[in-house]
Amino acid sequence: MRVDCSCGAGAVVSRTERDKQNPNAADLYCSCTKPECGHSFVASLGFKHSLNLPASFPAGVTLDASVQGTRIFCGCGERATIQKTNRLSINVSDIYCHCSGCGHRFVMYRAYAYTLSPSALTTNELAVALIRSIPPSARRELKQQLSLF
């Protein structure tokens, strides 16, 4: 599972803590892979909803999912794979998963929770890193918008 820092670089998940109030959610403790950034933060990951209920779904098994480390598991206990990620904003994504065991398809959410230590990059450096991380078409559109000022 990929988690990104606010500077646009990837982040490494160092540990995972289950949410005590919600067994289908966990906090991922992350650190930016860019040495000059140094940002460390917490991202939340949790079960959102099911997309389908397979006919072969075992009786008595709840429709949910859980997180162990950076792996996602279906309610039946089998490992699920991420099929698609839908970024709703810079800090929030829906993760579409498929269970390899029972065929259950479900959605997890991933959201930025809070910062443990801020980035060492300046505001200008962060802006440049973000601009470099967007596709060229979006960059051209941004350039046109900025030319209006």
* Global confidence as pTM: 0.69
DSSP calls for 42-99: EEEEEEEEEEE--TTPPTT--S-EEEETTEEEETTS-EEEEEEEEESSSSEEEEEEEE
Radius of gyration of the chain (CA): 18
Other CB atoms within 10 A of residue 115 CB: 12
- Cβ atoms 46, 92 nearer than 8 A: no
pLDDT in tens, the chain (149 residues): 778 888 888 898 888 888 778 777 889 999 999 888 889 999 988 888 888 776 666 666 667 787 777 788 888 888 999 999 988 887 889 999 999 888 889 999 999 888 888 877 777 877 787 787 778 888 888 888 888 77
What are the residue ranges spanned by the domains of the chain?
A: 3-146
- 110, 93 Cβ separation under 8 angstroms: yes
Among candidate residues 41, 17, 48, the one with its CA nearest the CA of residue 112 = 41
